[in-house]
Structure 1
């Protein structure tokens, strides 16, 4: 199996092509490839498939074998891969995801990839959409778990996200596991601990559903900016500092734009037998 290892702000992925859909159990495959001792090592795999509604389709499988409908850092890497492989000749690529079709706008200089901006689409605070077992929106709501009080804000940003605001040093990222598995969230949730630096800058560390602690989470960074803006902590354009680097997020007319890096780490062959 040919593969390409990529990363976006430290969130790493294995890109494989499956245009003929010959890989049936992507969950088992992802667990094997993503194992950092016996496989290649990654937070998840990105599978390239044909699309009937967009230019190309991206399927995301987490390191634990679970399906993810969307991944912000992953889609930037995916867009770079598709552009450089010339599967799509335009600098504007429509990518089918589990969260609908996303538009990737490639920044090119002298024919070379320099960056990408993704229109992540709309966010949703409706508990039914997240999903969350709540009769009202979860905005700065007290959650008593793990012998600790957390004040959480939850929304759907492609995938479920819960944000806890405060000083980052007051929280260990592994505390996110307890919130992830809380009965409030029947399909679990990603958890982002967020510190407000000023009106235009925040710091975020993330516990990802299905992956654990990661150096960055694109959808989580978007969700944190949306939640911070909803609570009046920030403006609509925010620099997000994550352990793996910096993402730039902007809210425009109810939609979220995300700009950040994507890099190819190495290419190779994996022996599947």
Structure 2
């Protein structure tokens, strides 16, 4: 039976989302519904969908509810598939909660995700999210992409969702990539991975801040103007390659704008924090068949 739902369109540095409030989990949003809503020709259009639901109203939210996180970010890729987390999405999610009066940022805001509870605060760039602990390993992976003459080595990075980061030699090489076709990873990760292509600025470090440029192919989506966890993964990979003395703070330029990354000590180990803007663009209603 058709259902009419209210939605908000939002974005973080051009990484755009359909936001739907479903506090008590009453909506039946199938994978096909999500794919149509995110379709740029037949739907609203977006890189993904953020369902705003109470942690107590979704099975994956039990741990978040137990930790005091009232709201859970049910994130879905543009093809309808479920994803663990979205860094830019957390900022858009927080802005929606604050602007609609569902939450406040007078104190740090905790939201549940499939990659654990994430904490958000205000920052000079807009919002900052603690993405938590991270891991960079040296497992070998080769990446083939249209526009690259030979396969390139990739660096695995885990931020609750999987990434592979590839270093390129020049801005021209970055611009010449054709990311309308998915990069091929060998060996292929069982759950797939987001693939980030990065070029260091010259000089790499300015006033104690590392600087890189990045483009990204997101699994289940395609190329996006920005990817929050991908930005963090790219900064961590370049820091790993740079070795001892590499900065703890990074500025990352993506096609949709600029994001900040910084590392901070924490009781359970080093955490990576992502900062950047979030905007809500328009609201409306749509009827789902």
TM class, shorter-chain normalised? 0.7 to 0.9
The structural deviation recorded for 1:107 is 5.0
The answer on 1:47 being equivalent to 2:63 is: no
The answer on 1:88 being equivalent to 2:103 is: yes
The structural deviation recorded for 1:124 is 1.8
Q: Which residue of 2 aligns with 1:131?
A: none
Structure 1's unaligned 5+ residue stretches are 109-113, 127-136
- Once the two structures are superposed, the pairs formed by residues 114-133 of structure 1 within 5 Å of their partners are 115-125=126-136
CA 1:190–1:142: 2 relative to 1, 3 Å: closer
Q: Which residue of 2 aligns with 1:99?
A: 115
The structural deviation recorded for 1:176 is 6.9
Q: Which residue of 1 aligns with 2:248?
A: 236
- CA RMSD after TM alignment: 2.0
In 1, Cα distance between equivalents of 2:283 and 2:227:
23
Of residues 169, 184, 209, the one that matches 1:179 is 184
Say whether the 8 Å CA contact 2:11–2:280 is kept in structure 1: yes
Of residues 245, 258, 265, the one that matches 2:257 is 245
Give me the TM-score of the superposition, normalised by structure 2: 0.83
Q: Deviations over 1:93-142 (max 9, x none)?
A: 1000000000011359xxxxx8211001111235xxxxxxxxxx32xx46
In 2, Cα distance between equivalents of 1:169 and 1:25:
42
In 1, Cα distance between equivalents of 2:181 and 2:195:
5
Of residues 27, 30, 35, the one that matches 2:34 is 30
The answer on 1:13 being equivalent to 2:17 is: yes
In 1, Cα distance between equivalents of 2:143 and 2:219:
20
Say whether the 8 Å CA contact 2:215–2:255 is kept in structure 1: yes
Q: Which of 202-211 and 167-176 deviates more? A: 167-176
Q: Which residue of 2 aligns with 1:134?
A: none
Structure 2's unaligned 5+ residue stretches are 56-64
In 1, Cα distance between equivalents of 2:172 and 2:54:
44
Number of aligned pairs? 255
Give me the TM-score of the superposition, normalised by structure 1: 0.87
In 2, Cα distance between equivalents of 1:165 and 1:86:
43
The structural deviation recorded for 1:23 is 2.6
